[in-house]
Structure formats: structure tokens, C-alpha cells
Structure 1
Amino acid sequence: MTRWLRQHRYACLSALRRLWSQPFSSLSNILVISLTLAIPIIAASVLVSAQPVVKQIPVSPEVTLFLQPGAKPDKAAELARQLQEEHSQEVQTVRVVAREDAMKTLKANPAWADALSVLPGNPLPDAVVVTLHESPDLAKQASLLAEKWRKLEHVDVVQLDSEWVRRLEAILGFVRIGLWLLALGVALVVLATVFNTVRMQALTQREEIGVARLVGATESFVRRPFLYLGALTGVISSIAAIALSALALNPLNAALARLANSYGTQVVLRLPEALNLLLAVVVIAILAALSARWSVTRNTRF
């Protein structure tokens, strides 16, 4: 156990010496990775900080049930109670729009007032407007409920705001794909930068590695310092990226505060939770170590 710890201590110190021996090259690589990592961190900060504001925006679709023209006035209220009781898990609110109220609303609009004034009566039906709760599969759930409610007694037409739901899901899907592509791009930058760094180190120390093999050094002993070099590069770059993101949020918050005040609200961008940031640092370190292993395996075969 003591020997194993001594070997890893040697590999870690050797990796630190290699970073320190070429400060300009090391700093350039760390800066490239840090700036790349700062982009998804800032994007995650925006998403995390915007969630409380987004939750205040009504995003649940409405399903409108138009009753048959000959239905009695009390049927709408009865249908509203029925829907609320039978679908309490899916339904958020239910309200009844009487035909007289709907007519008054249309007549208040100058564009409809002249056309409605020539009608002998009120052609509008009573309506029940149902607002659904948010759910992961909102569009499918709303469509199933609308299809079921079309078969109810005294219901003539069911209007579903499916177009709005499709647009919402399209936007969410676009955001998810964009984030995955961004994460993939960041991972490729980290892998490529660390791969090239370790490659140059391996070629520079070609003779030293050859001598170490001649005196009996194992492949693990030869490669271990390079793995630590990649992991340390990833850790230092991740910490630097978090620091750069925190600095970048200051001017962003100042500009956002002026915009939010004009709308009478307040939004502050904050970094993701410390646990998530720590997990990101670990993932980047693992990716960098894997890239270093791949590079040293390919470039020390001589």
C-alpha cells in the first residue's frame, strides 16, 4: 500500500513539474479549456435562475368544451363540477362561460359589434373552459382528455389548444438538443486540448521514456504521470472556468437588473449549486485523464 501511494505521489508531483516547466503552454491550454467550460456554466446559471420566473408564467393549455345549442343553462355548471371531480389530478381550474357573457364580450369589441347587431338572437353556446396541470407529457395528456370529453352528453365541440402545446414542446426540445450539443462540443474541446498537450509532452520526453523502459519501468509507471497531467489540467481549468463565470455574472446581473426593473420584477443570475459544480469538475477531470491515456498510449510506442 505504501509503495502504491509513493508511486502515485511521484506521478502527481511529476505532472505538476511538467506543468510548471512550460508555464506559457500550460496557461494557454488551461485558458482555452476554461473559456470553453465557462459557456455551459453561464448557460446553466441562466436556466437555473430563470426557473422561478418561468414557473410564474401560465403555461398550461386550455381545453374548451362548447355545449349543444339546445342544452339547458344549468348543464354547463353541472358539467364543470363533473370534470373537476372526475379529473382532479389533471385539471387545475374549471370555469363556465355563459353564452350571454360571451356575447357581451364580443359586442364590446368594435370589430364585432356591427356584425352581431344584425343577428336576431344569440347564436353562441355555453362553454366550459378547463385549464390543465403541467405534466411531462402535456400534449399527449391533453389530446386524450379532449378525445374523451367529446363523447360526453350535451357536448357539441371540444377545442384544444394543441398548437400552443406543440410549439411549447418544440421549443423545449430545441433547448434540450442545444444543451446536449453544447455539452458535446465542450467535451470534444477538452479531449482535443488535453490529447495534444500530452502528445507534445510525450514527444518531448521521448528519450527519458526510452531510458525508463530500459531500466525496467512498467508501462503503468511511464503513463501514470501523463494521466495525472491530464486530470490536473482538467481540474485547474474547471476551477478557473467557475471563477470566470462568477466574474462574468456581475455585469450580466447589472444589465439584467435594469431590464427587470422596467417590467417591475427582479431576476438575479446565480451559479448552479456547489454539488453540481463539483460533479462537473470530477467529470471534466475524468474526461481529461481518459484523453491523456489515449494520447500517451498512441504516442509512446517506440
Structure 2
Amino acid sequence: MRRWLRHHRYAFLVALRRLLSQPFSSLSNMLVIALTLAIPILAASILLSAQPVARQVAVSPEVTLFLKPDAAAGSTQQVAERVKNEYATEIDSVRIVPRSQAYSDLKRDPNWADALAALPGNPLPDAIVITLKEHANIAQHAATLVQEWKKWDEVDLVQHDSAWVQRLEAILSFVRIGLGLLAAGVALVVLATVFNTVRLQALTQREEIAVARLVGATESFVRLPFLYLGALTGLISGLASIALAVLALTPLNAALARLASSYGTRLALQLPDALSLALAVVVVAILGALSARWSVTRNTRF
């Protein structure tokens, strides 16, 4: 066990010395990887910040039933009770908006007051506002209910702006797929960068490796410093990418705060949780080690 620890300690120190012996080259490679990694981190921050907005939109969508103008007296209450009884498990609340109340609200609006004054009477129908419960696929579920309610005799029009909800879900789905492809591209960049770095190191120390083999060094002894080199490159690059993302979020949140305040709301981009970031750094370090192993195996066969 002690021998194994000495072996790994030696390999780690050798890898660290090789990084420090070529600071400009090492920093350049790490900066390329860090900048590349910062992009999906920022994209994940935008996605995570947009998801609560989407959930808030989808939690309580409303459907409005407009009754026919010649509907019998009391039919509004009957339709509301029918909705409550037949769809009790699918709705959250039902609210009746009498035509007189809607007419009074519009008359108080100066944009509509002149137009309504020119009309001989109240043209508005009674309305029933239905708030749906949360559902896994709320847009499709709401569309199904709308088609059912349109068939009722007392109902003249059913209003539900589901198209923009569907567009929002489609945009978020597109962003998730794009983020996955971006992560795959980042993985390729990490592999290619570390592979080339280790390749140059192996070619530079070609004679040293040959001598080590002549005196009985095992393949694991030769490869281990390069594996630590790749892992350290990935680890430091991953930590640097998080720092770059934090720096980038500062001006982005400042601009976003000004935009959100103009709409009377607050919105800020936040990094993914610490566990996800730590896992991402570990994955990058593992990719670096795997790429280093592949490179040293391929370029030290002599």
C-alpha cells in the first residue's frame, strides 16, 4: 500500500512539474477548455432560470367559456355547476363573470368608453373562467377539454391561448437538446486538447521514456504521470470555467435586472447547484485522464 501511494505521489508531482515547466502552453490549453466549458454552464443557467417561469405559467392556465347571447336565464350557473361536477378532478376553480360586470369594467376603461357609448346595449355575453389544475402535459390536456366544452349547447366560444404555452414548451425542449449537443461538443474539445497536449509531452520526453523502459519501468509507471497531467488539466479548467461563468453572470444579471424592472418584475440568472457543478468538474477531469491515456498509449510505441 505504501509503495502504491509513493508511486502515485511521484506521478502527481511529475505531472505538476510538467505543467509548471511550460506555463504559457499549459495556461493556453486550460484557457481554451475553460472558455469552452463556460458556454454550456451559462446556457444551463439560462435554462434553469427559465424553467420556473414555465412552471408558473403552466401551473394555473385559464380557459374562458363565453355563453351564447340568447342563453336562458340561469344557464350560466348551470354550466358552472356542470363543469364543477363533471370535471372536479381536473379543475382548480370556477368563476362566473356576469355580462353586466364585464360591461361596467370596460366602461371604466377610457379606451373602450367611447366605443361602448355608441352601442345601443350591452353586447357582451356571460363568461365562466375555469382554472385548470397542474398536469404533466397541460397544453395538450387543456386543448382536449376545450374541444369537449365547445360541443355544449349553451357555449358560444371557448377561449384558451394554448399556442404560446406550447411554443414555450417547444423552446425549452429545443434548449435542452441544444445544451446536450453543446455538452457533447465540449467533451470533444476537452478530449482533443488534452490529447494534443499529452502527445507533445510524450514526444518531448521520448528519450526519457525509452530509458525508463530499458531499466525495467512498467507501462503503468510510464503512463501514470500523463494521466495525472490530463486530469489536472481538466480539473483546473473546470474550476476556471466556473469562475468565468460567475464573472459573465455579473453584467448579464445587471442588464437583465434593468429589463425586468421595466416590466415590473425581478429576474436573475443563477448557476446550477454546487453538486451539479462539482460533478461536471469531475467528469471533465475523467475525460482529461482518459484522453491522456489514449494519447500516451498511441504516441509512446517505440
Shorter-chain TM-score: what band? 0.7 to 0.9
2:97–2:127 CA contact under 8 A, matched in 1: yes
Structure 2 unaligned segments of length 5 or more: list them. Answer: none
Task: Tell which deviates more after alignment, 173-182 or 14-23.
Answer: 173-182
Distance 1:123 1:259, change over 3 A: closer
In the alignment, structure 1 residue 244 sits paired with structure 2 residue 256: no
1:59–1:134 CA contact under 8 A, matched in 2: yes
Task: Tell which deviates more after alignment, 146-155 or 48-57.
Answer: 48-57
Give deviations 1:100-137, integer Å, cap 9, x for gaps: 455667787379648x837xx76754332323344441
- How far residue 17 of structure 1 moved from its aligned partner, in angstroms, is 1.5
- How far residue 72 of structure 1 moved from its aligned partner, in angstroms, is 2.9
In the alignment, structure 1 residue 197 sits paired with structure 2 residue 197: yes
Equivalent pairs counted in the alignment come to: 299
- How far residue 246 of structure 1 moved from its aligned partner, in angstroms, is 2.5
- How far residue 5 of structure 1 moved from its aligned partner, in angstroms, is 2.5
1:247-266 equivalences in 2 (<5 Å): 247-266=247-266
Structure 2 CA distance for aligned equivalents of residues 300 and 64 of structure 1: 73
Structure 1 CA distance for aligned equivalents of residues 253 and 156 of structure 2: 52
1:74-223 equivalences in 2 (<5 Å): 74-84=74-84, 86-101=86-101, 109=112, 113=116, 117=119, 125-152=125-152, 154-223=154-223
Task: Tell which deviates more after alignment, 1-10 or 196-205.
Answer: 1-10
Distance 1:157 1:49, change over 3 A: closer
1:106–1:112 CA contact under 8 A, matched in 2: no
Q: What is the identity, as a one-letter code, of the residue corresponding to 2:292?
A: A
Q: What is the identity, as a one-letter code, of the residue corresponding to 1:299?
A: N
1:234–1:288 CA contact under 8 A, matched in 2: yes
What do you get for the CA RMSD once the two structures are aligned?
Answer: 3.3
Match of 1:15 in 2: 15
Distance 1:235 1:222, change over 3 A: same
1:50–1:267 CA contact under 8 A, matched in 2: no
Identity across aligned pairs (percent)?
68
Match of 1:67 in 2: 67
* Secondary structure of the structure 1 residue equivalent to 2:16: helix
TM-score (norm 2): 0.81
Structure 2 CA distance for aligned equivalents of residues 217 and 87 of structure 1: 76
Structure 2 CA distance for aligned equivalents of residues 189 and 269 of structure 1: 26
Structure 1 unaligned segments of length 5 or more: list them. Answer: none
In the alignment, structure 1 residue 271 sits paired with structure 2 residue 255: no
2:58–2:134 CA contact under 8 A, matched in 1: no
1:61–1:165 CA contact under 8 A, matched in 2: no
Give deviations 1:207-251, integer Å, cap 9, x for gaps: 222233333333333222222111111111111122222233333
Structure 2 CA distance for aligned equivalents of residues 283 and 37 of structure 1: 12
Structure 2 CA distance for aligned equivalents of residues 133 and 251 of structure 1: 38
